[in-house]
Amino acid sequence: MVVYECVDEFSAVRGLVRGKTIAVEERQLLQLTDSVIVTHPSLSQSKTVGDRRPYLIPNGADIAHFARASFPGTEPAAAVASLSHPVVGFHGWIQYWIDFDMISYAARKHPEWSFALIGPIEPLARVDKVRGMANVYFMGRQPYEQIPEFIAGFDVCINPFVLDDLSNAVSPIKLYEYLASGKPVVSVDMPAAREFSDLIPLVRTPEQFVRALEDVLSNVHNRTVSGNAVLRQQAVTCCSWEARFQQVEEVLQISLA
């Protein structure tokens, strides 16, 4: 049995690939598979072969691991604790799909905020747009085990994808991890984030990004916001890797029947 799990619109990826070539090779692969799993609804149509539609199983998170960020006994990582607050935080792969125009705009509008970016920097990432800014800190790759301690030091988490064909098909793991931490989140208005639009502000422009951050940070110690932390965590209880694995198991059982 051959199962293909597609987690991105690979034909839209930039770098050392040709989109048209990837699309052709993927169609050939799809012809060979018994089952296809996609992580986002927008991938379903392009990964359909004949009358066989893919199964939708979004990404997830280690919910218990990231919940540690909200535990009273969790001390923020020293590298973040030493920054001036408020701290606007990001963790993940720092690639070209991160909107550094948006981050640069916010960092210039609010030089008193600290922007902490955790993760490996890839060659195509436009970090040059914020390099040298006194309030933007690149903290490099950190051990997975310690990421909750870094998030514990954030006042707000950001999900700043460039809005394009790639982000339209992404199921962002970091978004589930942020919500599992209970921390406030500001996200761009990508389809996967709209599921949580009642809990997190969604933005499309740098101006909206700054306004949303201002609103969140002005209420960060407010009781209502603290109560919302529980709601954010509850919203992703069904998104654990255990739950996703169970969904995959069910797909495999159907395929084997």
Sign of the C-alpha dihedral, residues 87, 62, 92, 35?
negative
**What is the predicted pLDDT for the residue at 160?**
97
Cα gap 181→235, rounded to integer Å: 11
**What is the predicted pLDDT for the residue at 224?**
52
**What is the predicted pLDDT for the residue at 137?**
98
| Band of residue 78 on the pLDDT scale cut at 50, 70, 90 | very high
**What is the predicted pLDDT for the residue at 257?**
81
- Both tokens of residue 130? 């914020």
**What is the predicted pLDDT for the residue at 50?**
86
pLDDT tens profile 159-201: 999 999 889 999 999 999 999 999 999 999 999 999 999 999 9
Chain centroid to CA 189: how far? 12
Query: How many CB atoms lie under 10 A from the CB of residue 239?
Result: 22
| Band of residue 220 on the pLDDT scale cut at 50, 70, 90 | confident
User: Among 16-25, 98-107, 149-158, which stretch is predicted with the lowest mean pLDDT?
Assistant: 16-25
Q: Considering the entire predicted model, what is its pTM?
A: 0.92
Query: What value does the mean pLDDT take over residues 221-228?
Result: 61
Cα gap 67→240, rounded to integer Å: 12
* Residue 7 CB-density burial (10 A; 0-12 exposed, 13-18 middle, 19+ buried): middle
Query: What value does the mean pLDDT take over residues 69-91?
Result: 96
pLDDT tens profile 122-144: 999 999 999 999 999 999 999 99
**What is the predicted pLDDT for the residue at 14?**
80
| Band of residue 227 on the pLDDT scale cut at 50, 70, 90 | low
Cα gap 100→89, rounded to integer Å: 13
**What is the predicted pLDDT for the residue at 19?**
85
Strand order in 35-38's β-sheet?
3-6, 35-38, 55-56
**What is the predicted pLDDT for the residue at 256?**
87
Task: Using DSSP, state whether 77 is helix, strand or coil.
Answer: coil
Average per-residue pLDDT for the chain: 93
**What is the predicted pLDDT for the residue at 74?**
95
Q: Is the pLDDT of residue 225 over 80?
A: no
**What is the predicted pLDDT for the residue at 54?**
95
Give percent above pLDDT 90 in the chain: 84
Query: What value does the mean pLDDT take over residues 93-119?
Result: 97
pLDDT tens profile 8-63: 888 888 876 788 899 999 999 999 999 999 999 999 988 998 888 999 999 999 99
